[in-house]
Amino acid sequence: MIFRQLFEPVSCTYTYLLGCSATGGCALIDPVLETVERDLAVISSLGLHLAFTVETHVHADHLTGALKLKHLAGSQIAGPALDGLLCTDAGLHEGEPLMIGEIALQPLFTPGHTSSHHAYLIDAGTQQLLFSGDALLIDGCGRTDFQSGDPVALYHSIHDQFFTLPDETLVYPGHDYEGRFVSSIAQEKARNSRLGGGKSLEEFVKIMKSLDLPPPQKMAFAVPGNLLCGQCPPNVPDALRLPCAFGDQG
């Protein structure tokens, strides 16, 4: 398997490139609109072709690059079937792997950050790789105070779906705000400030309800745009509209 972890610094979003060495097909998990050209350049440099973009959920902090990548590279758009998006080519369900060449990407239904959030798991032979989206972050977790969030559901998703995985499973989050790249299930069970050390459901809910964070700056246009797989809605500020143009690659 060919693997790259890519970063978008404004929203601190990680995009993950998974490539099949046997077939040359690849996927991007959670691509960002502003980094579409960079991602395509990386794919080209590796001699791969983009088969799928894969979403963990409908994002509130950035616009996805899925629709633009489909226009430029002919890729299919995949995401949780529960979102019911008409622009999605492949609706994903837990228990039904998405095949990227010979790579089996296993969806895991992990509601809580949003009601339809999915994470993705790959068995790399000697180790499992968990792409946890916004459900589980390094020393943290996704918010539950908007967009169908539910702290009780998130607690159970993390404990039932993630913390039951082998301790050595690598955790690749959807975001990190402190320059960290990867964690493990063992580390998050022991040290996660919101969930680790055996914190109870009641303790977790109290923590999440006391965060008092401002809404994401791009939420007003990111959510409606991402319901259209990355089509820029009219309320995108002029200063941010340049990536919306779907010109020819190069």
Backbone phi and psi for residue 67, each to the nearest 5 degrees, phi listed first? -70, -40
Alpha carbon distance 28, 122 (integer Å): 14
Residue segments in the chain with a per-residue pLDDT below the cut of 70:
247-250
Inter-residue contact 216 to 55 (CB < 8 Å):
no
CA–CA distance from 28 to each of 4, 48, 158 (Å)? Answer: 9, 12, 23
* CATH 3.40.1350.10 is the classification of domain 2-242: no
pLDDT value of position 26: 98
Dist CA 26 CA 69 (whole Å)? 13
122-125 contacts at long range (C-beta below 8 A, 24 or more positions apart): 122/1, 122/18, 124/1
**Does residue 105 sit in helix, strand or coil?**
strand
Cβ-in-10-Å burial (0-12, 13-18, 19+) of 9 comes to exposed
- Cα distances (angstroms) measured from residue 29 to each of 13, 64, 94, 127: 11, 10, 16, 19
Is this structure's pTM higher than 0.85? yes
Task: For the chain, give every domain's residue range.
Answer: 2-242
Q: Percent of the chain having pLDDT more than 70?
A: 98
Contact 57, 117 (CB under 8 A): yes
Q: Which residue has the tokens 């690598």?
A: 170
Query: Is the distance from CB of 53 to CB of 78 less than 8 angstroms?
Result: yes
